[in-house]
């Protein structure tokens, strides 16, 4: 398995829907942002999750997560969410995902980590993670 | 078809997740509240939507909606959402749904109206609305 | 007031977060999409809503909406949401917003209409709509 | 500080809005459920978060979280979310939150842990956690 030299990055704009009455992004919504970045990262790696689910009846599911919320994103901010492979076993893979506010010092807002598994969508049984999708396409 | 003498009522608490940086409930979330009330109203009428979807492969879908947002609900408010049948044809039914803040004068926050259809969940084809579920169970 | 010759268009990708167990986009989420497009349309017209809220303490709020849901968007679809001015009075303005699936025949999914007002963010009192933002910048 | 003998429990119904096209609750929404339970737990402990935010200008924020997703909740399930104090320091407190499907063997769905801080809502500066709210009221 080749290592990802540089994390995948995805830009996301913060809309009113993402914020709450505390004036900042509601904490659970950072996990939505992380999934958007994972989805786009998988797309960039050649994985079409809709085809995977609807035709092959296979899907990725999150089995564990941890995150530290260091500073808030606010309405109208344009933030960057990263995704990079941090670990891989037969049954699961781990993705490091950070969220930062780009600028002269790229302020880190959230440090996240996601463990995912690969399942049969019909019976929710675990399948071997298709490790080849994470190999460097050259 | 018997008329509903009194609308069904469902209490909902406003949490941070429902609000936005304007300090009030985000407008699209009132439609979530309306669906919660419809779901509970259907449950009270004897309709198990999970069984309907998973076993019978039938489902209700919203085909049109209109709403007026008269006053905002806020974090921690406990509001009431109503549901009552306002119209019924072969292909669709109309539900009147209001949201108010209960109190000495029951302040009306949202006046809503939902048109729904009944579909085959496999091919999304319309089915005849099962009108009997709206008949007074006596 | 100059008429908008061509509606503003904004592309949005459908993620898992937007869908529900019926396999399609959850109906209330189309209103989130509409607001994203309105926000970007206002940005294109030179309105910085964050500055408006935080510095000027003014904000736009939706006072009414209606929508017809003609066909569903699905996970992984890339859809287009439009925004164009459909009416303007002292107190409110109306925005026509359609959602379609781009392609050789641009399938229309949702036909929407939003009425918005302009409020003082501190006391929620209505202000005169700043009509000049909708005038053609030439 | 008295130990909580039994965790606080809060029942939550799963609606369509909570699920996604995989047919189960979208992973980020479990964090919404956890916050609903924390909010109700704080309310039971005598904390009015709306008054806290609007009058005292103080608020609780999540600074870290971890969760394991063991089994999915589905549309129409009625689940239970717990909240109990798992740790307390000057600056933060830790809450253990589990989600289970009640029944003859109370199937555990999610094992969660939340770290929260107490902030000045105007400048987002940390304040000393008001430990007395967690003391047994007798």
Mean pLDDT, consecutive 10-residue segments, chain C of 138 residues? Answer: 75 98 96 98 96 96 98 97 97 97 95 98 95 77
Q: What does the pLDDT read at residue D67? A: 98
- Cβ density class A73-103: b for 16+ within 10 Å, e for less: bbbbbebbbbbbbeeeeeeebebbbbbbbee
Q: Say if residue D52's pLDDT is above 50.
A: yes
Cα–Cα distance, B128 to A115 (Å, whole number): 45
Could you tell me if residue D106 is left (phi over 0), alpha (psi between -120 and 50 degrees) or otherwise beta? left
Domain residue limits, chain A: 8-120
Residue B128 is given by DSSP the state: -
Cα–Cα distance, A46 to D102 (Å, whole number): 41
Contact yes or no for D75 and B49 at CB 8 A? yes
DSSP letters along D100-117, please? EE-STT-EEEEEEEEEEE
Q: Predicted ipTM? A: 0.94
DSSP letters along B73-106, please? -BTT-EEEEEEEEEEE-SSEEEEEEEEEE-STT-
Contact yes or no for C35 and A16 at CB 8 A? yes
The alpha carbon of residue B94 and the mean position of all alpha carbons in its chain are separated, in whole angstroms, by 10
Quick count: other Cβ atoms within 10 Å of Cβ D108? 13
Contact yes or no for D21 and C24 at CB 8 A? yes
For chain D, first and last CA: distance in Å? Answer: 13
Please indicate whether residue B48 is annotated as part of the active site.
no
Picking from B13, B15, B21, B28 by the largest number of A CB atoms within 10 A of its own CB, the best residue to mutate is B21
Q: Say if residue D81's pLDDT is above 50.
A: yes
Q: What does the pLDDT read at residue C135? A: 86
Q: Tell which CATH architecture fits domain C8-120.
A: Roll (3.10)
Distances in Å between the Cα of D132 and the Cα atoms of D45, D82, D90, D136 are: 10, 20, 12, 9
pLDDT: which is higher, C104 or D129: D129
Could you tell me if residue D92 is left (phi over 0), alpha (psi between -120 and 50 degrees) or otherwise beta? beta
DSSP letters along A7-66, please? -EEEEEE--GGGB-TTSBB-TTHHHHHHHHHHHHHHHHTT--HHHHHHTS-EEEEEEEEE
Q: Mean pLDDT score of chain C, rounded to an integer?
A: 94
Q: What does the pLDDT read at residue B104? A: 83
- Mean pLDDT across D16-38: 97
- Mean pLDDT across B50-79: 97
CB nearest D17 (choices: C20, C24, C75): C20
Summarised one tens digit per residue, pLDDT across range C86-104 is 999 999 999 999 999 999 8
Chains near A (3 or more Cβ pairs under 8 Å): B, C, D
Contact yes or no for B22 and C59 at CB 8 A? yes
Below-70 pLDDT ranges, chain A: 1-5, 136-138
Cα–Cα distance, D136 to A59 (Å, whole number): 46
Taking the complete model, does pTM exceed 0.90, yes or no?
A: yes
Cα–Cα distance, A11 to A62 (Å, whole number): 22
- Confidence label for D79 from pLDDT (cuts 50, 70 and 90): very high
Q: What does the pLDDT read at residue B137? A: 53
Please tell me which residue of chain C has the smallest CA distance to D22.
C21
């Amino acid at each position: 398995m080749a290592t990802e030299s540089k994390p995948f990055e995805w830009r996301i704009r913060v809309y009113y829907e993402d914020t709450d009455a505390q004036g900042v992004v509601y904490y659970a919504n950072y996990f939505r942002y992380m999934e958007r970045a994972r989805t786009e990262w998988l797309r960039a790696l050649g994985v079409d999750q809709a085809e995977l689910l609807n035709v092959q009846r296979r899907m990725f599911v999150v089995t564990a997560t941890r995150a530290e919320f260091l500073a808030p994103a606010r309405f109208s901010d344009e933030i960057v969410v990263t995704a990079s492979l941090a670990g891989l076993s037969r049954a699961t893979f781990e993705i490091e995902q950070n969220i930062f506010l780009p600028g002269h010092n790229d302020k880190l807002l959230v440090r996240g980590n996601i463990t995912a598994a690969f399942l049969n969508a019909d019976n929710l049984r675990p399948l071997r993670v298709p490790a080849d999708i994470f190999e460097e396409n050259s």
